[in-house]
Amino acid sequence: MVEALKRGDDLAFAWLVEQHHAMLVRLALRYVADQATAEDVAQETWLHVLRGLARFELRSSLRTWIVSILKNRARSRATRERRNMPISEAWLATVALGEPAVDPDRFFGSANTELTDRWASAPRGVAPEEQLLASETQAVVSHAIQALPLAQREVITLRDIEGWSAADVCNALGLSETNQRVLLHRARSKVRAAVEPYLSQTDQP
Amino acid sequence: MSTPNDEIVCKELVELVTPYLEDVLPTNERAAIERHLAECDGCTTYVEQMRQTIRAIGHVPHEPITSRTRDEVLAIFRAWKAERS
């Protein structure tokens, strides 16, 4: 990939942009105030990526390197415009606290001490693989992700759609490992709840 | 909130499923989860549904970029190529 880029292969570059541009704009929005500036910063990043290619070494992943350039560009733009970088704390406030992974009504209450906090209405059934890919299931998943609070949406997008490691997400978003995991947990739990009827539909007899 | 003999219940397990799948739990908690799963169909299904959910999310397409953005960025690329040669 890097070699193709250094040769000036425009297909390789177009592919790279297709893969990462939307993500760069989203990350930039954590530093600058509006969409237009974020788009600008992302484009500026591509220029610096190209200019820096000759110096790029394969010690780090290409994506990690691109993200680090984006962060530098976004930070310097934020400074020029005298905006404060949004800190993780403020951003994390977009998360409603104390959301249980599963509706508490699905567990037995305290009336029955033997069964307290055990499933009263257990999830049933796992779907065959093709059910996961059915357009109906995919639409429910996309919709559920769109409905998440910002911080949760960012983390689940990078981890589960883009396939980033936990460490890369912590680094890009300035999160502690614990915060990253809590956001991911809340996000995945809600998406699971949304698709549960589709997973159970094909219940085994 | 754990029972006297350090076993976990369903309501606790569903909150531990992410650190469990991420494999970051201390050995004793992981073992407690595995003991619980061995005896609880509801939680076994829950964990499997969580894995399925993650796989389903993995198939959601990347956000597409607009053709205008693509053109602008490719213009940057052509300018860079020209400036190099």
Q: Is residue A205 part of a domain?
A: no
Residue A174, domain CATH: 1.10.10.10
Model-level pTM?
0.86
- The closest CB to that of B80, out of A50, A119, A125, belongs to A50
pLDDT digits (tens, 9 = 90+) for B37-80: 999 999 999 999 999 999 999 998 877 889 999 999 999 999 99
Residues 6 or more apart whose CB falls under 8 angstroms from that of A27 comprise A67, A70, A71, A74, A172, A173
Domain end among A24, A51, A80: A80
Expressed as residue numbers, the domain containing A16 is 2-80
Hey, what domains does chain B have and what are their CATH numbers? 10-84 (1.10.10)
- For residue B76, the chain A residue with the least C-alpha distance is A47
A122·B45 Cβ contact <8 A: yes
> In this structure, is the dihedral angle defined by the CA atoms of residues A14, A20, A26 and A27, taken in order, positive or negative?
negative
B11·A104 Cβ contact <8 A: yes
Give the whole-angstrom CA distance, residue A175 versus residue A178.
8
Q: Is residue A38 part of a domain?
A: yes
Domain end among A33, A59, A80: A80
Give the whole-angstrom CA distance, residue A161 versus residue A15.
17
Question: What local confidence, expressed as pLDDT, does residue A94 receive?
Answer: 66
First to last CA, chain A: 49
pLDDT digits (tens, 9 = 90+) for A41-88: 999 999 999 999 988 887 778 999 999 999 999 988 877 775 555 556
Residue A26, domain CATH: 1.10.1740.10
Question: What local confidence, expressed as pLDDT, does residue B47 receive?
Answer: 97
For an interface test with A, the pick among B25, B77, B83, B85 (most A C-beta atoms closer than 10 Å) comes out as B77
- The closest CB to that of B69, out of A21, A50, A129, belongs to A21
C-alpha to C-alpha distances, A105 to A28, A41, A118, A120, A122, nearest whole angstrom: 40, 47, 11, 8, 11
Query: Using a CB-CB distance cutoff of 8 angstroms, which residues of chain A are in contact with residue B77?
Result: 10, 13, 46, 50
Give the whole-angstrom CA distance, residue B22 versus residue B16.
10
- The closest CB to that of A127, out of B19, B52, B63, belongs to B52
Q: Does residue A99 sit in the same domain as residue A195?
A: yes
Q: Does residue A65 sit in the same domain as residue A129?
A: no
- Number of compact structural domains in chain A: 2
Q: Does residue A8 sit in the same domain as residue A75?
A: yes
B60·A145 Cβ contact <8 A: yes
ipTM of the complex: 0.87
Q: Does residue A76 sit in the same domain as residue A158?
A: no
